[in-house]
Amino acid sequence: MMRLLEDKVAIVTGSGRGVGRETALLFAENGAKVVITDIDEGPAKEVQEEIMKSGGDAIIVCGDIMLEEFPKRVIAETISQYGKLDILVNNAGFTIDALIHKMTDDQFQKVMNIHLLTPFRLIREAAPYMRECAKEEIEQGVVNHRKIINVSSVAGLKGNVGQANYASAKAGVVGLTKVVALEWGRFNINTNAVAFGLIDTRLTQAKETGEELNGERMGIPEKVRQSFISKIPQQRSGQAREAAEGILYLASPMSNYVNGQVLQINGGSYT
């Protein structure tokens, strides 16, 4: 059976849970060496163990991805362990919802930092191992595609009540994606985004029973969640594995002529 990412090295941020976890596992199934990042060591170790038990290869770089030094550390540890970087998936994130007249500066800025500033920093830090390496290859007549996949959201394309911070950040992710695609496309670096609709993760669970993160309860009110589902043509939320499969497509050779695009994974158009 052909493995789409044989011998590729991939960083997947926020890969201890949810879509990030499924992406890391799916990448490993397809032959990639995976760098797992998460703020919590426990879930990250579980993912690593699952990959290793299946004969795969993975390392963990834990910490707060929003810290200025973290992108430097994760790139450095990736190169130290594997000597190269082929795929970068900017997936890590969380939500802090509030109506705009009740949203604080801190709530707005935290969400902007995790979803937009952090991917920018990681891409910039990856430049020597993606852009500069590609320049040398091109001079030698070698074509080697590298991939950057940024996780956006339908909220960034169409807005969403109570998510001025999240929608703004995810719209910014689309802009960032298109700029990198324009600047780095000549170096055989494909930069694309996925825009998820309602995918079952801890961020979209019923808020009434959701986990807490950074002092905020995650999730969305159950009535709102059901309202979203009623507007989806397929009449259901998506699974994390289905979301990861879209990321795999953009990371694979099947997307070598896809650049600067936003792949919506949402069960159909929202009204």
Catalytic residues: 166
User: Can you spell out the DSSP letters for 149-206?
Assistant: EEEEEHHHHH--TTBHHHHHHHHHHHHHHHHHHHHHGGGTEEEEEEEE-SB-STTSSB
- Please report, for residues 15, 72, 89, 97, 263, the alpha-carbon distance to residue 160 in angstroms, rounded to integers and kept in the order given: 25, 33, 24, 10, 18
List, in sequence order, the alpha helices (H) in the chain: 18-29, 41-53, 70-82, 105-112, 118-139, 154-158, 164-184, 222-230, 240-251
